[in-house]
Chain A
Amino acid sequence: NAGVTQTPKFQVLKTGQSMTLQCAQDMNHNSMYWYRQDPGMGLRLIYYSASEGTTDKGEVPNGYNVSRLNKREFSLRLESAAPSQTSVYFCASSEARGGNTIYFGEGSWLTVV
């Protein structure tokens, strides 16, 4: 009963390095999301994928890229990490209808030094 699984859970990067956050869901959901959480700002949407083969920008997409590899997997890439990207990143998934519950992973803590 895994739900939404994210890796890695913790990562420290140097400024300018690149990395990919991996996410997989086993609930057969069509829609997947990447959010970042910063103190006092709630969760902000980075990118989402309404269905396999489609991706769209959210509120804060600059500095990120995504790939919807298949229905299960949705990865987030930082091409050149910056200290402003220090955050907790959450992957999530849901059925493809408004009002459906969005299920979250456990989070990935990323520090850029």
Chain B
Amino acid sequence: AQSVTQLGSHVSVSEGALVLLRCNYSSSVPPYLFWYVQYPNQGLQLLLKYTSAATLVKGINGFEAEFKKSETSFHLTKPSAHMSDAAEYFCAVSEEGRRALTFGSGTRLQVQP
């Protein structure tokens, strides 16, 4: 069975600081990994995804994530936080033969001025 753990339900950073949101997964087969962002009262929007090509994946809004098989991790980073990055972020995993995503519990990012 696949699962996702997101460390830290709330993360607060200052504007301009590094953003690091942690995600660890478990999967019995090579996974597909996703980060989604949810702004208040909206649906989920794809930030980026890993599908076994390059291990460093670049997404929208300056975010990127690195797939590390040895650590079973897919942490999300952004060099410099912006106020507009305040949102909830979800890491998710799926596997070949299973299209549905399994989500982590989410991390709410707060950006302080």
Residues of A at the B interface (CB closer than 8 Å) are: 4, 31, 33, 35, 40-45, 48, 50, 58, 90, 94, 96-107
Distance of A58 Cα from B98 Cα, bound (Å): 11
Check A99–B106 contact: CB distance below 8 A.
Answer: no
Check A99–B49 contact: CB distance below 8 A.
Answer: yes
Q: Which residue of chain A is the closest to B36 with respect to CB atoms? A: A104
Q: Which residue of chain A is the closest to B104 with respect to CB atoms? A: A42
Check B97–A42 contact: CB distance below 8 A.
Answer: no
Distance of A44 Cα from B102 Cα, bound (Å): 7
18 contacts between A and B (CB under 8 A): A35-B103, A40-B106, A41-B105, A42-B4, A42-B90, A42-B103, A45-B100, A48-B99, A58-B100, A98-B94, A98-B95, A98-B96, A98-B98, A99-B52, A99-B94, A102-B101, A104-B45, A107-B41
Distance of A41 Cα from B6 Cα, bound (Å): 11
Check B43–A31 contact: CB distance below 8 A.
Answer: no
Bin chain B's interface residue count. 20 to 34
Q: Which residue of chain B is the closest to A3 with respect to CB atoms? A: B43
Closest Cβ–Cβ distance, residue A104 to chain B (whole Å): 4
Contact with A along B22-55 (1 / 0, CB 8 A): 0000000000101010000111111001011000
**B9 contacts which chain A residues (CB < 8 A)?**
40
Closest Cβ–Cβ distance, residue B28 to chain A (whole Å): 14
Check B99–A100 contact: CB distance below 8 A.
Answer: yes
Check A99–B96 contact: CB distance below 8 A.
Answer: yes
Q: Which residue of chain B is the closest to A98 with respect to CB atoms? A: B96
Closest Cβ–Cβ distance, residue B46 to chain A (whole Å): 5
